[in-house]
Structure 1
Amino acid sequence: MKWIKTVVLMGVIALLFFACKRNTLKVSISDIAQEVEVVPFGEALFALDGKDTLAAMAELSNAHPDFFKLYTYRVIQVGGLGDTLFPELMRLFLTDSLITDVKTKTDSVFSKPTELSNDLKKAFKYYSHHFPEKELPTIYTYISGFNQSVVTAENIIGISLDKYLGRNCLYYQQLNTTPQYKILNMHKDKILSDVAFAWGNTEFEHADRATNLLSNMIEKGKLMYLVDAMLPDMEDSLKIGYTTQQLEWCQMNEPQMWTYLIEHEMLYTTKRMNIIRYINPAPTTSGFPLDSPGRTGVWIGWQIVRQYMKKHPEVTLPELMANYDFQQILNDSGYNPE
C-alpha cells in the first residue's frame, strides 16, 4: 500500500478548499439568552490563605457544595471537610512552594480571564441553540497540581488551568510525568475543544453500545461533530489536537487508512487493544507510517459523521447524538474515500 508523505503545498490547497465551503453549523446565536456560568474557583480558594482554614473551607463548600467535593476528593485528593487530616492537607496544598509558583505562572498565562470566560459562554450558546431543553453546566476554573485537564460531573465542568500553561512550560518538562505528544496540546487555545469534547462525552456517550472498532470510531466522530457545532470557527487541527502537518497527513492518506482497516479486517474487531490502537491518544498509530498521528480512528470516524450529516441535512444534531446505529450511519454516509 502506497502511503503519501506530507506535502505542504497540497495541504495548503486542501485547507483552502475546506475553508471556502459554507459552514452550515455557523448559525446565529444572537437570540440565545441562556448563558453558562464560569466560576473562578481557584481564585476564591487561594484567597483563603491565612484565614481559619476549616471555617473558610466550610464557607466555600456551602457556596459550591457539589464541585467542592469533586475538587477535594477527585482532583487534588485531600479528602473532605469531615476528615481528620483535611485541614492540614489543604493547608499544605495552598502553601506548597511549587503550587504557589504555579499559581503565579497561571495568573500570568491567563492574565485576561474574561477572554476564556467569554469564549466558553459563546461555545455553550451554540450548544443551547441545538439543545435548548438541556440544562447548562456550571464551569469551574482552578489549579489542580497538574491533575486531570478537564473533569465533568452532573451539571459540572472543571478546568485545571495549570494543565494549559503552554508547550514550552518548564514545569511539564521538569515533572517528567507527561509524554511529549500530550504536552503539545497543553496550551490555553486547546481548552475550548477539550471542554466541548469532554461535555459531549459526559452527555451522550454510552460505552456499552460501542462494542467494536467501527462503532467506537463513529461514536467518537459524533463527539467531534458536536465540537464542530460548539466551535464552528475553530480550525480542525486545534479541535482534534493535531499539528498542521498531522492533519495534512490524514487528509492525504484517508483512502489508504480506510483500505488498510478493511483489508486487515479491523472495522469489526472487538479486541480491546486493537480498538485502543486507533482511538486512544498516542504519538503515532501503530501499523501506520511513523509520520501518522495517533487517534486516526477518531479522525476517520469524524469524517464519516461529517459526510453523513452532509448527505442528510434533515437530521438534527440531537437526532445524530441519539442515534447509536453505527452501521446505519456508515451505510447512509456513503463513505468511501478515494
Structure 2
Amino acid sequence: MDSLEKTKDWITVMKRCLLVVCVVCVVCSCQRNPLKIDVSDVEIELAVKSYDDALFADRALTKERISELQQEYGRFFELFNYHMIGVGGPEDAGFLPQLKSFVSDTMIVSLKQKADQLIDKKALEHDFTLAFKHYHYYFPKKVVPTIYTCISGFNQSVVLADSLIGISLDKYLGADSPYYPSLGLAKYKTRNMHPQKIVSDALYFWAMTEYPINLTASKVIENMVYQGTLYYFVDAMMPEVHDTLKIGYTAKQLAFCQTSEAAMWSYLAEQNLLFSTKRMDIKRYVDDGPYTASFTTESPGRVGAWLGWQIVRAYMKKNPEVSLKQLMEQQDYLSLLNQSGYQPN
C-alpha cells in the first residue's frame, strides 16, 4: 500500500507540474509579439552611401570633382544641393563658390568631425539592413531604398524620394550637443536628436511617404489612427526596439500614457474632440510638443498619436488575418477604429 500511495502521489505531482507548464506556455504564447519574426534568411541589397565623406574628401571641389559627385550620387546630389543646402545646381553661376563656402565653413567642418566621432556608420548600416529585411519580408515587391548620409547645416533631418532616404547626421549629435541651444531648439525636440533615433525616424517618414494620409481625413480621430498605422509600421520594422525609442518618449512619459490611457480616451470622447475637424485640435493631439495642453505637464506631446498606435495594435490583435500591407493600405480610419474593439480600462 505504501508503494501504491507513493505512486499515486508521484502521478499527482507530475500532473500538477504538467498543468503549470501548460499554463506558462499559454501565457507566453499570448504575450509573444507576432511581429518578432526571423529574417535571417531574407536577402536584400541595401546600400548606405556616405555623401558627407565624398563631399568633404576633396574640398577643392573642381568642376571635374563635381561631375564625379553628380554622376555617382545622382538624385541625392540634386536633393542635397537644391533642397537641403539651397545652392542650386552645377548649371547655376553661383553654385561652385557657394558649395566651396559650405564645405570650408568652420562650423560645417566641425559638424562633420563631431558626426564622425559620435555616429558609427557600420552600426547604422547594420540597423538599417535589419529593418529593411523586415520591410522586404512584408513588402517583397517594393524597392529597398538606398540610404545616404550627409551634413546639411541643420536642415532637414530626413529627406525622401523614390528609392532613397537622406539622413542629415548633424541633426543627430545628441541631446546635449552645444550646437542645438544656439539654434533656439526646445528641449523636447533636442531630446530625440541622438544617433539611436536615426533609423526609427527614417522608417516613420518612409512609411508616411509610401502610405500618405487619406486627403479626406479631416477629424482628430482619423489623424490619430493614421499616426497609429505609421508607428505600427515602425513596430513591424523594429520589433525588438522599445516603444520609448520608436515614439521618442522618456520612460516616465510612456508610463504616464500607459496609466492615463483610459482617462485620456474618455476625455477626448466626452469633450467631443475625437470628431472635431478644427485644425488646432488636430495639431494639439497629434503634433509634437513639450506636453499636451489638455492634460498635465507630465504628459508628452503627440498623445493622440500614441492613442492611435494603441488602437491600431488592438485592431491587428483582433484581426490577425489582416496583413501589414492591408493595414497600410487601409484608408477608412473610422472603420479601423470600429473593428478594433478598442476600449481602454
Determine the C-alpha separation between the residues in 1 that align with 2:267 and 2:71: 55
Which one of 242, 257, 260 corresponds to residue 264 of structure 2?
A: 257
Correspondence 1:171-250 to 2 at 5 A:
171-173=179-181, 175-250=182-257
Corresponding residue number in structure 2 for 1:70? 79
Structure 1, unaligned runs of 5 or more = 1-16
**2:166 equivalent to 1:158:** yes
Correspondence 1:1-338 to 2 at 5 A:
21-52=31-62, 54-110=63-119, 112-173=120-181, 175-338=182-345
Corresponding residue number in structure 2 for 1:14? none
Q: Which protein, 1 or 2, shows the higher relative CO under an 8 Å CA cutoff with sep ≥ 6?
A: 1
SS in 2 for 1:64: helix
Structure 2, unaligned runs of 5 or more = 1-26
Deviation at 1:51, TM superposition (A): 4.2
AA aligned opposite 2:265: W
Deviation at 1:42, TM superposition (A): 0.6
AA aligned opposite 2:166: G
Determine the C-alpha separation between the residues in 2 that align with 1:247 and 1:311: 23
Determine the C-alpha separation between the residues in 2 that align with 1:273 and 1:57: 45
CA deviations over 1:76-125 (Å, ceiling 9, x no partner): 11111111100010000000001111111111002x31111111011000
Tell me if structure 2 keeps the 8 A contact 1:35–1:125. Answer: no
Deviation at 1:64, TM superposition (A): 1.6
Determine the C-alpha separation between the residues in 2 that align with 1:171 and 1:39: 25
The TM-score, its normalising length taken from structure 2, stands at 0.90
SS in 2 for 1:209: coil
AA aligned opposite 2:36: K
SS in 2 for 1:168: coil
Determine the C-alpha separation between the residues in 2 that align with 1:333 and 1:168: 40
Tell me if structure 2 keeps the 8 A contact 1:35–1:124. Answer: no
CA deviations over 1:228-259 (Å, ceiling 9, x no partner): 00000000011000000000000000001000
Who wins on radius of gyration, i.e. which is larger? 2
SS in 2 for 1:157: strand
Deviation at 1:31, TM superposition (A): 2.0
Determine the C-alpha separation between the residues in 1 that align with 2:251 and 2:128: 24
Tell me if structure 1 keeps the 8 A contact 2:151–2:170. Answer: yes
Deviation at 1:133, TM superposition (A): 0.6
Determine the C-alpha separation between the residues in 1 that align with 2:282 and 2:332: 18
Determine the C-alpha separation between the residues in 2 that align with 1:149 and 1:295: 19
Determine the C-alpha separation between the residues in 1 that align with 2:327 and 2:249: 25
Structure 1 runs of 4+ aligned residues shifted over 3 Å read none
Deviation at 1:207, TM superposition (A): 4.6
SS in 2 for 1:140: strand
SS in 1 for 2:283: helix
Tell me if structure 1 keeps the 8 A contact 2:50–2:150. Answer: yes
Determine the C-alpha separation between the residues in 1 that align with 2:297 and 2:38: 42
Tell me if structure 1 keeps the 8 A contact 2:149–2:168. Answer: yes
The TM-score, its normalising length taken from structure 1, stands at 0.92
Determine the C-alpha separation between the residues in 2 that align with 1:313 and 1:150: 32
Tell me if structure 2 keeps the 8 A contact 1:213–1:268. Answer: yes
Corresponding residue number in structure 1 for 2:14? none
Determine the C-alpha separation between the residues in 2 that align with 1:283 and 1:117: 31
SS in 1 for 2:156: coil
The RMSD of aligned alpha carbons is 1.4
Deviation at 1:308, TM superposition (A): 0.4
Number of equivalent positions:
318
SS in 2 for 1:278: helix
Determine the C-alpha separation between the residues in 2 that align with 1:146 and 1:211: 32
Tell me if structure 2 keeps the 8 A contact 1:215–1:327. Answer: yes
